[in-house]
Structure 1
Amino acid sequence: MTSEVPFYLGGGRLSLVDDGLKICGATRPLIEAVVRDRVRALPGVRFVERCDVDGVVTTPDKTRVTGVRLRSRTDPKADETVAADLVVDTMGRGSRSPRWLADLGYPVPDEKRMRVDVHYSTRLFHREPADLDGCRHVIVGLPPSGRRGGLTLAVEGDRWLVTLVGMLGERPPSDLDGFVEYARTLWSGEVHEVVDRATPIGEGVTGAFHEYVRHCYDRLTAFPDRYVVSGDAVCSLNPVYAQGMSVAISEAQTLGLIVDRHGLDRVGKRFFRQTRQLVNTAWTLATGADLAHPEVQGPRPMPWRVINAYMNRLLPAAHRDPLVADMFLKVNTFVAPPPHLFHPRILAHVLRNGRTPTGREHAEPVRTGQDAQSSP
């Protein structure tokens, strides 16, 4: 339950209660294996492995996509063309749809980019039932103007999955000693408590997310029929906020509804139009949070400044007020739409409880980002 998850954000711990939301930890291999097995069990599904999609096939007038060309990675003679009533590009940041559209004579979607230069390092550790007094997850967001964060998830096999995050060029080490020392500098001590005491499993792995990229397919006036682009291939978001999977699932549900109601004609244009608000929301929430860091380069128009000023009141309120904290979490996990943060009841609680902590109210067992990152 969310009340059992220490969630540190905006300089303090969110005052969460049991609101029905559950946070389940799992490694990526487990999630992918479960999804793959369920899809493989569906009737009519065939997996084609060790090959790449080399391009799309269309009608002679190029108005409708009719399939894809597959290129084998192991046997050139095994190349094939697969006919399809509908083609969906979910190839992530490596999507080649913009190039394929250009080759077909269609306009290429405009791009939006914002650089954040995020690096992360992940390690596994043995987990004992008494670790963290039985707490299963800890989330430490980047503090205001800070560059370091992390999370600890209880995952399958009685293990901890610990990820350390660095922003704007900060690089968490993957070696054990460096990993433990980096965790010590976080502004909350639970993550360090785990990595300092638990037995490590295997070696650390690293990753990076350099910049947001959004392809504005919703603005195109011409697009081939029977073709859809979805997920990170449309909009790739900072993985720190764990929103990409939620967006992809919502897009898949929308696509299913469109096909059920309207069939396959104009499916791409319908899809982009109906998912525009979803993608706008995800982009605004994620980039807006990163733009609050003064060193992130990007436009800060007046609407963003107003919302950012409100969030600077809302987060302190969320450290004290369960109603505000729960709504904040629901919005950021796409359970509730962003306007709910401005509901009169929430607004009243924010105005009443959204003071900057002073004096004794700072007595939480956490370190500020500045103190932690400057400690020896």
Structure 2
Amino acid sequence: MKKALLAAALMSAGVVAHAQSSVTLYGRLDAGVEYISGLPNNSYNGSTSRVRLESGDWGTSLWGMKGVEDIGGGNKILFQLEGSFSTATGALGSAGSLWNRWATVGGSNDQFGTLLLGRELFISNGVWDFDPFGQSNWSSASLVRGRNWPQSSNNVSYQSPKFGGFDVYGQYSFSNSTSFNGGGGTPSTAAPGREDGLQLTYTNSLFQVRGLYDEIRNNVNGSLGDPSSGSVNGPFSFGREYFAGVNVFLGQFKIQAVYQGARTSGETGVPIGTPTTTDQEWGGVTWQATPAAALIAAVYHVNANNGAGNANIYTIGGSYNLSKRTLLDIQIATVRNSKTANFGLDANNAGAGGTVGGTAADPGTGGAAYNENPTPGHSQTGVYAGIQHSF
């Protein structure tokens, strides 16, 4: 009897030891002082400037937790919860949403890859690895008006292991409505439009290349455009996106070059000044001058059709690591617009700047908001200096 009990105890201990689990709390706090000139005045007939305390110019302030349970045989159960917030005000990144960036659960296998379900950063965030400024506030996202920043709800994603330097990542986001592509109601009440994408990456010691395709469906009618609402956002809200990028690693230097295109479908009667397609290119170099200090220079360009014009962002900056967890950062940037373009340094919504009616969810339906887009053909210049701490 004693031998049987001892054997059972040893077996139980083996099961407990086998199913190892851990939970990690993590976060990042980013804050600094920002100056911008060339902002529109309230009536959009002139320019002004401002100085403000800003959170998230170098990187989103966030906090979260992630966990893993090893259930044996190379299999693990995973979860991640992550939300953004402002260090300037303490406000959540999305009102009423604690975990607005990540809320996933799933599993992984050493041989077959990782499958997750829930809310994630949308696959277009894969641009991050190929942006010299890592999609900071004044970078590639500015010239696509935040198209590469969104999150994706009702999502299923798969990340493959690496095979000979290649790996594949895919996402599929359900509309969760009676329509396959989504639709119905107003912009603020309709179910999400279907979203999906596929990413292929090849990496070796000298270079890394990535191709990416994604689409975001209109949540009102399920289309790849906005044919009925009169929106001025064009491909910055809905449509297909194509991306090809390369990183080249040369000792202390990293050289990056990208092409990115966005296309809508099914739009008719689009007013002049609202694009249906955009083409964006950028390039930059990062010099890791010392293990602690990095200098960055980049140029971003966008060309929008249908009279929406073109723009360039010229920027330099860098960071200095005070420790493994804390860095100081600085960025100087200017955006130059063609005669009909009004792109800003920040990733502003399309349309006229100044004080405008409506809200982000339902433009033109009451209330008022301030849009930072400069007057057409005018430039903006900014300087930002801050501190970032990770834990």
TM-score relative to the length of structure 2: 0.24
TM-score relative to the length of structure 1: 0.25
Of the two structures, which has the highest relative contact order with CA contacts closer than 8 Å and spacing of 6 or more?
1
Query: Which structure features the higher share of helix residues?
Result: 1
